[in-house]
Amino acid sequence: MELTRKQFDVLEVLATSRESLTQRQMEEKTGYSLGTINRVLKELTEAGYVDKSMITNSGVNALEPYRAKRAIFIAAGFGTRLVPITFNTPKPLVRVHGIRIIDRLIDACLKAGINEIYIVRGYLGELFDQLLYKYPMIKFLENPAYNEANNISSSLVARYMLSNAYVFEADLLISNPEIIKKYHYTSDFLAIKKERSDDWCFRVKDGVIVEEKVGGEGSDIWQMVGISYWNEVDGHKLSQDIQEVYQSPGGKERYWEQVPLVYRKEHYRVEVRECFDEDIVEIDTFKELKAIDKTYDV
């Protein structure tokens, strides 16, 4: 059967917990009332998905359609704002405190059980081969248009892999791997709640993204983080919509996420998923890199 949102949330907590949970602990983790937890557990028990507050094999199977199966890393760009270090190194391969930026993201995926990993490369693409020593499961996708189109060209190359998939900007410095989740009820985009932002941000209503724009303020503003998840249905729709937008007038100048959030937004209902400033940071400039890692400040 298809899970309701509440059934999914309770089942996911049980599936990802490292220990058995009391109903009070489930209340804390889901935000649902004890009465709701009790009712949902009864439903899941009757369905055979839960036994004595423990998830069963049938319960794990019921979550399978919601499992993140692959990760796509968009890593083809020049990283121009991080010069001079990106003259010889693609930005995702830059080391921060001795660890390549992309390694932390890949490690978080592997921890979440996501082993099917694709990297879309372009600028200095052959340098990404070094990742294979540590991550032999990686497959590379070549973006021949990286120097003449925006990152929509990278999503075009990967458009048939977007179902049950994470899409990452590959230059994000992650400090909390827990934000990469194994299960998702629907398509979502990570974002940070802000009172005001000068960056790319979302306007959100009832947990759903209703607008993407640059800058904003108010109670409904969330600053975009370049990590999103796309369920099976939306992934199939993206494969067609990305190509259509790319081939439209001015299409090569688009950012890839503008396809589902702007140019074909009527086809999607994308939720916002909260993370925090301390979870992740985008290093935009060499000055910011030097502030984070003093070894560059020479």
* Residuewise pLDDT in 10s, the chain (298 residues): 789 999 999 999 999 887 788 888 888 888 899 999 999 999 999 999 998 888 999 999 999 999 999 999 999 987 777 777 778 889 999 999 999 999 999 999 999 999 999 999 999 999 999 999 999 999 999 999 988 999 999 999 999 999 999 999 998 999 999 999 999 999 999 999 998 889 999 999 999 999 999 988 888 899 999 999 999 999 999 999 999 999 999 999 999 999 999 999 999 999 999 999 999 988 888 888 888 888 887 7
Distance CA 155, CA 235 (A): 11
Between CA 1 and CA 16 the distance in angstroms is 21
Where, residue-wise, is CATH 3.90.550.10 in the chain?
67-296
- Give the Å distances, CA to CA, from 146 to 77, 141, 170, 178, 237: 6, 12, 14, 31, 23
Distance of CA 157 to the CA centre of its chain: 18
pLDDT at 277: 92
Q: How much is the pLDDT for 84?
A: 78
Name the residue type at position 141.
L
Contact between 216 and 198 under an 8 Å Cβ cutoff? The reply is no
> CATH for 67-296?
3.90.550.10
Q: Is 148 left (phi over 0), alpha (psi -120 to 50) or beta?
A: alpha
Amino acid 82: pLDDT = 76
pLDDT computed for residue 114 by the predictor? 97
CB 96 within 8 A of CB 293: yes
CA pair distance 131, 141, nearest whole angstrom:
14
Top CATH class, 5-65: mainly alpha
What single-letter amino acid sits at 35?
A: G
CB 73 within 8 A of CB 168: yes
What confidence score (pLDDT) does residue 54 get?
87
**pLDDT on residue 268:** 97
**pLDDT at 104 (0 to 100):** 96
Specify the pTM: 0.93
Start and end residues for every CATH 1.10.10.10 domain found in the chain: 5-65
| Cβ atoms of 248 and 240 closer than 8 Å | no
Q: What is the CA radius of gyration of the chain?
A: 20
